[in-house]
Structure 1
Amino acid sequence: HEVGIEGQSSQQALEKLTFEGAVTRYPEGLPDDVAKTLRHELGLIESLEYAPYFLTVNSIVAFARSRGILCQGRGSAANSAVCFVLGITSIDPGRNDLLFERFVSQERKEPPDIDVDFEHERREEVLQYLYDKYGRERAGMTGVVITYRSRSAVRDVGKALGFSLDRVDALAKQVDGHAVDDLLPQRCREVGIDPETPLGQRLVYLVNELLGFPRHLSQHVGGMVMTQGPLCELAPIENAAMPGRTVIEWDKNDLDELGILKVDCLALGMLTAIRKCFDLIRQHHGRDLTLATVPAEDPVVYDMICEADTIGVFQIESRAQISMLPRLRPRCYYDLVIEVAIVRPGPIQGDMVHPYLRRRCGEEVPEYPSEAIRQVLHKTLGVPLFQEQAMRLAVVAAGFTPGEADQLRRAMGAWRKTGVIEKFRVKLMEGMKANGLPDKFAEQVFHQIKGFGEYGFPESHAASFALLVYVSAWLKRYYPAAFCASLINSQPMGFYAPAQLIRDARDHDVEVLPADVNESGWDCGMQSVECRVQSEEIADLKNEFPSPLSQISNLKSQITPHSTLCTLHSDLPCLSPAPSPQPLVPSLRLGLRLISGLPESAARAIEEARKTGRFTSLDDFVRRTGLGQPIVAKLAQADCFGSLELDRRKALWQALGQEKKKQPRPLFENVEEEEPAAELPAMSLPEQVFADYRTLGLSLKAHPISFFRQELQELRVTPAKRLLDMPDGRFLRVAGIILLRQRPSTAKGITFVTMEDETGIVNLVVKQQIWEQFYTVARKSAAWIVHGRLERREKVIHVLVSRIEDLSAKIGDLRTKSRDFR
């Protein structure tokens, strides 16, 4: 591991760096309680000889920051004041009442495990730094055992039994990606395999038998091991499939058992987006921001969060979170910590969500059987929402030793392995009974702890994520154009595709400009335009694209506009703490990265050629960029030559003619050829929109569903925006493009679907019976007509689906593939 500063031991070097960092973290002076905490932690680190490990992690973070790579520690490391002052984590554990012993304990003697998130596009730089610094003989990634899931089991068993590859592939695509349900025989019939034959019966049996069985060894998502001596003397090593990496042929859990220290260097897309957003804000607004300098506890930001206006915001943009926000109504940072943790399988399965919400709303009074239990649960109103609380309850209520409580923590961490927590039942129940606690309370506590076996968050983990929740929400509120551009430039990440992110940005008064060879780079960017009232044409387009979140709350109009647009709305107060509005309003310019099939090298060639001036014609563009006809044709199909006064058809016609000009014709080499301009009919608006979707996956002109509205009205289909005015229980029909399909493991087979038409978004709830009845359409169709019943629950509106019809034929081959999650 990392050696100390020359002439100093590792412990001395760590203490020096710690107190130097404390001066930076506490510029007004180090509080006595923080100094005491630091000395306590350093003493424990010294007794356990962990100083080299802390220095190693510190050097990794220092390298990342020296390269401008945004990073943040999370997990149990957020419990450490030492990690905070070193800059490894961003959360002050003293302010959030986080215990260092959750991270490092004298009794537990378990090696510390520091997780650090890095920008997902630049994490490889950090990994290669470690390989370069320690050498491949001393550094390697940890392995992880990959077990069979339904699709891999179907593929391997099907091949082994001799079924044709096309049928095996079709069956694998039909089954759920995570588990095999009782309908596997039916899925077999759908692809032409008879499950009643001996071979078919064997297929069904063996697929179920293989689930959870080890399949192969892969590399862990981010675990790195660095050793003092050669790794090959400790463990077997192999080359990874990815070039430049080597992997230890041991599972990460094996390393924990052997006490080998590792660092988890993880990738997080939101850090990439935030760093890119900071860069755009610095370039176009002249404001230099960091995670630490974003203004804290802004009530306007919390207003936006309470209205569930959170598309693109880290961790709180899912359907479940958007439904929870108007009920929980976060008003401070710790509310965000709870928000991050409460929408998880553990609290949901442990029936902790509704009791907490009732108590938060004053409908129920928390009751504590003892003062010790009140000390553990008072922050969460008597409901254990975090793993740490479950551990403390086991100690104070059931008499567990800290070591036994740590075993319980490990059991909660093994959330994929069902039944692990059950073995603690007797000891927990008997311990609580011995302490005089009522049987009802004991049963309730065990049920809640058992819920954590389905995955729950540690408080320190939720605290680290809550910071990114707030920062991303603040950026969305005050710099929506930069935030949207950064999200798109960081794809793939998050729940929403670029089309929905752009639609949401336009709803926040962001003018979005089309991709153009004279204006666009590879990435989406910012372009300053004169501050003016929007034209009637733009206003009409905005009327076609109202708030996608209007179904959640009709209070959205109360939110004040972005501070830089206050001059356009002088009758509205500017509540933003940001500087005074600038005379130029940055618009969002779409980047060439959105064009299907366009390589980044082509965009870079365009940017380089444009340094000598704007392109004046398509011939000038081709001559200066040197791009071939296929690339030019892609740009033409994406309507990127608007600044040259060429529409899509004219540009494509000229692009196709470029190849002809390049063919050698020596007899006519001195003859100037003037090709007459072709008179091509203009494309209709529907043709333009469908062409936009085919090439870009979105359109700034209109929504595809709008062209079928008359036909849908004849079918009595209701536009999404009209759901706001309809009563609970109304039976209706809605139609649109499918954006998201999400099937949480805790939802008892329910699938949550988000559908979009030209007027807004509709949230659908599809029960398992309906999903199975319309299985093929439900899983594969890009657009639906839905029959169902409107339901209103605390400002949240959704449609309970009773029938699904396929609308895909209407929209053709648009690039509208939904994002499906489990």
Structure 2
Amino acid sequence: MSSPSVLNKFAELHSLSHYSFLQSAAAPEDLVIRADELGYTAIAITDECSVAGIVKAYQASKERRIKFIVGSEFRLPELGTIILLAPTREAYAQLCKKITLFRSRSEKGHYQANIDDFFNGLSLCFLLWQPDFRQAQLIAIGEKLKSVWKQRFWLLYERHYQADDERNFHAMTELQRALKVKVTCAGGARMATTEQQPLYDILNAIAQGSSLAEQPGLASNNAEHRLRSLSELQQCYPEKWLAESVAIADQCQFCLSELRYEYPAELVPDGMSAAEHLKQLTEDGARWRYPEGVPPSVKALYLKELSLIKEQSYEPFFLTIHDLVRFARKQGILFQGRGSAANSVVCYCLGITAVNPAQIQVLFERFISKERNEPPDIDVDFEHERREEIIQYIYRKYGRQRAALAATVITYRFKSAFRDVGKALGFSEQQLQYYRSHLDTRDKEQSWQQQLAQQHPEVANSVRGRHLLHFTEQLMGTPRHLSQHVGGFVIAADDLSRLVPVENASMMERTVIQWDKTDLESLGLLKVDVLALG
């Protein structure tokens, strides 16, 4: 009898990072790095109704051989779980628009989708269906999905060594036989390594608002939700289903490097290019700044800057900022430009900044550098009481489909991590408040762990107390939820949701994209900072 072939190819098509808040113990980059170490061909990060973690995963994949695939999962009570993958740039746009739609139906942090949503507007995506075998009429639902999705539709099977494994396997083979569609498999990873299992269990308890002491069933009975080795996967799934994961991954060619961000064109008069218009405004501004004549040295500086701006195609960005400060000046709203923008003669001539950089001998290359290949950073502070007028002007001019605030990722800090981990471990709110009230996290002589051990040795030396110290430290710095940036707007030439999903912020009349400042910088995308001046 011949020995089984050694599995040498597998693509993980369903994994959740900690941007599926409280559902995963792994950072997106951890999943990519670990998948590459295990020899996977590809990995898809498929956070729930979100692409918030894909930029960090993409950055990690650029330094490795593994292919990175963009996707997202959606959970429907009557259906099970649907995973959408984006094989092309246009498929990615369709995915982002659907996420935007689902998020727009609910308050911040939630989404609403139904089965009919997956029968239109997704003609280029791939669909993997992980059925909930407790539901009825799965064959009828599957037939409808197959009729719409055709060759872009697969059944998805996952095994994590649970009591219902055998029943689910037989149900899957029967469903495949009835629908006559291909089956693929995935790990459904929520951990990069086994070591993350205890933190994963604590996150599950936090999400359920309970403790592992009260509900031991919240703890996973194994670590099979980790990224598993190729040999482990071979023992877990039929070879044909494993091979299908690679076949699907091979068809996914979209890369985030394809994203191109275009600024609105309406700021440029007909018959002129953006470069010509910016040059004209700069020259007009120079005459305004220097009524007795523009010094030749200043002209030489702004011409050099305009040349660099043109080389990087940043003219629309400067025109957008100029439009905002022009509106503010017209309305009598106080403002000031600051930061590296103060190094620019063009910004001075456009009225964005008030300090003449020609008099302080600064280098424009600190502001824009072809070698650094980084977008310019222009911070404009508007008077606090009237900043809302600027924000509403942006919404009126560009519409809510084309303008939204960048996200800020709110992460666990000591206080929130200590509280949530403690409650998950069964400490009472009163106990935690008492312990925390005596800890000084700013003390440079003693860490908070040392302080707790000194003040409450009975806690620090107990098993549960050691867990409190260890997992509080682990949880600090991990994402809790998305919030809105203080004033960083992203403005697009057309529908912004083709570039990145947009969702409701907690503040009324505010929408926020799913990427933060770091993500935007990583992709070379520009934001307009509308900040507050006290």
Q: TM-score, normalised by structure 1?
A: 0.31
RCO (CA 8 Å, sep 6+): is it higher in 1 or 2? Answer: 2
Q: TM-score, normalised by structure 2?
A: 0.47
